Amino acid sequence: MNKTLLKKYAKLIVTMGSNLEKGQGVIINCPVEQHEFAKLVAKEAYAQGAGWVRIDWGCQEFTKMKYKSESVKTLSKVETWEEEKMKFSAEALPAMIHIASADPDGLKGVDPVKMQKSSIARMKVLKPYRDMMDDKYQWTIVAVPCEKWAKKVFPEEKRTSKAIEMLWEAILMSVRVTKDNDPVKEWQEHNAKLQAKYRKLNDMNFDYLHYTNKKGTDFKCWLIDGGKWNGGGDYTQKGTFFNPNMPTEEVFTSPLAGKAEGVVYSTKPLSYSGQLIDEFFVRFENGAAVEWGAEKGKEALDMMMGMDECAKKLGELALIPYHSPISDSGILFYNTLFDENASCHVALGRGFASTLENSAELSKEEQKAAGINDSLIHVDFMIGSEDMNIDGYTRDGKMVPVFRNGDWAI
């Protein structure tokens, strides 16, 4: 891939993704295979005034090896140094840049029970530190191709190098990086369009949304009274703007935890913990999933639902038109960062306190009391389709078309 474009991408990530403040620290989470790109991002962070940069390396193949070779007890243990690292982050509040580059099937064959038990044990120890950081720091998730991911997306391409090139082109298209443009300016304009859309939704003050399509989705979900829709970038509690997901095409909110009825059917595969879940459904009663099934990956879906008592409740509703850049590309990425931005989606698990007015002034318990779901997980899955209709019902009973045939109606 052209080095000039990669430098442009790295600059966009630091500028619009993390919106690094001068003197602030930066933590880059990156697979070891992508060390060259991580160095470009680190160099750009220093150029923009980072006080320090740390790269935390990961390796999916080694993670699989650990799951297969170690006991649940060993996998569950959080070492003192790991906890100290999280404590440091909670106190220093560095900008976090996550570089995703995983094989969608990379953990296939791992015992799901072992993975679930150890994940729950570790998350219980580390979650309090993550709670301390909520809405107080900038973070962004971006992506870089790897060989197996590229071959999954473009299986018809015999040459791995060509598949990687094609995936690079698709990724850069989705984040608005081209040879001749100014991607920072384009992201500023893109954020402004999403802000205009969510302001319209906020003015509606909907009581609930009703989703239907021909695949079988027939689902109602209630919203928090006074809750906000957001979109594009987000703000820290002290007002620093950043873009958590690159790409992003969504306008989203956190619904009222514990009040949802009906069934939703997936329209794209979900890669969860390195395992694919496909052609699945979830049925809700009294706000929680009570029944689910999948043609592929049912064990992984079971594991997700069993992470904690609130994993079966919803933490997010996101609206994305069917005719949007990623959807129009016709590419199935097998990666939620991209596929969720080609389709309306919902998320099981943790909600976003930032969708509450004055969330910074509320304790964790007050946020829950207001209707924000809290969980160890936050997992998006795609339910949007070309024939998706969504009706919004205002608190005085008026019905407003929000989506018609997969696209915005407001």
- Cα dihedral sign, 154-160-164-166: negative
Residue whose pair of structure tokens reads 């509320």 in the numeric block: 362
pLDDT one-digit tens code per residue, 51-77: 999 999 999 999 999 999 999 999 999
CA dist list (Å): 250 to 224, 280, 334, 346, 347: 19, 22, 18, 11, 13
Residue 383: predicted pLDDT: 97
**pTM for the whole thing?**
0.90
Residue 18: predicted pLDDT: 97
Residue 203: predicted pLDDT: 95
Kindly state the average pLDDT of the residues 71-89: 97
**Amino acid of residue 231:** G
Using DSSP bridges, classify how beta strands 25-31 and 52-58 pair: parallel, antiparallel or unpaired: parallel
Q: What are the domain boundaries of the chain?
A: 3-174, 200-408
Count Cβ neighbours within 10 Å for each residue of 78-98 and write b for 16 or more, e otherwise: eeeeeeebbeebbeebbbbbb
Share of the chain above pLDDT 90, in %: 93
Tokens of 272: 């969860």
Residue 288's DSSP bridge partners are 285, 313
Residue 357: predicted pLDDT: 87
pLDDT one-digit tens code per residue, 9-38: 999 999 999 999 999 999 999 999 999 999
Kindly state the average pLDDT of the residues 141-157: 97
Band (361; pLDDT cuts 50, 70, 90): confident
Cα distance from N-terminal residue to C-terminal residue, the chain: 40
Instruction: Write phi, then psi, for 199 (nearest 5 degrees).
Output: -65, -35
Q: Given 3.40.1830.10, 1.10.3720.10, 3.30.420.130, 3.40.50.620, which CATH number is that of 3-174?
A: 3.40.1830.10
Residue 275: predicted pLDDT: 86
Residue 114's DSSP bridge partners are none
Band (325; pLDDT cuts 50, 70, 90): very high
Band (264; pLDDT cuts 50, 70, 90): very high
Cα distance between residue 248 and residue 153, in whole Å: 19
Kindly state the average pLDDT of the residues 373-390: 96
Q: Pick from 361, 353, 399, 407: which is nearest to 378 by CA?
A: 353
Q: Pick from 232, 128, 132, 146: which is nearest to 190 by CA?
A: 232
pLDDT one-digit tens code per residue, 205-251: 999 999 999 999 999 999 999 899 999 889 998 999 999 999 999 99
Greater model confidence, 360 or 74: 74
For the chain, the residue count is 410
Residue 232: predicted pLDDT: 87
Residue 1: predicted pLDDT: 74
Q: Pick from 174, 180, 165, 163: which is nearest to 4 by CA?
A: 180
Residues 6+ apart with CB under 8 A from 372: 224, 254, 257, 315, 351, 352, 353, 355, 356
Residue whose pair of structure tokens reads 């906000």 in the numeric block: 228
Residue 273: predicted pLDDT: 83
CA dist list (Å): 46 to 9, 14, 123, 183, 397: 15, 10, 32, 20, 54
Residue 253: predicted pLDDT: 97
pLDDT at 166 over 90: yes
pLDDT at 258 over 80: yes
Band (358; pLDDT cuts 50, 70, 90): confident
Contacts 24+ apart (CB under 8 A), 147-154: 148/103, 148/104, 148/105, 148/106, 149/101, 149/102, 149/103, 149/104, 149/334, 149/335, 152/103, 152/104, 152/105, 152/334, 153/331, 153/332, 153/333, 153/334
Kindly state the average pLDDT of the residues 385-396: 97
**Beta-carbon count within 10 A of 58 CB:** 16
pLDDT at 79 over 90: yes
Residue 7: predicted pLDDT: 97
Residue 181: predicted pLDDT: 94
Band (274; pLDDT cuts 50, 70, 90): confident
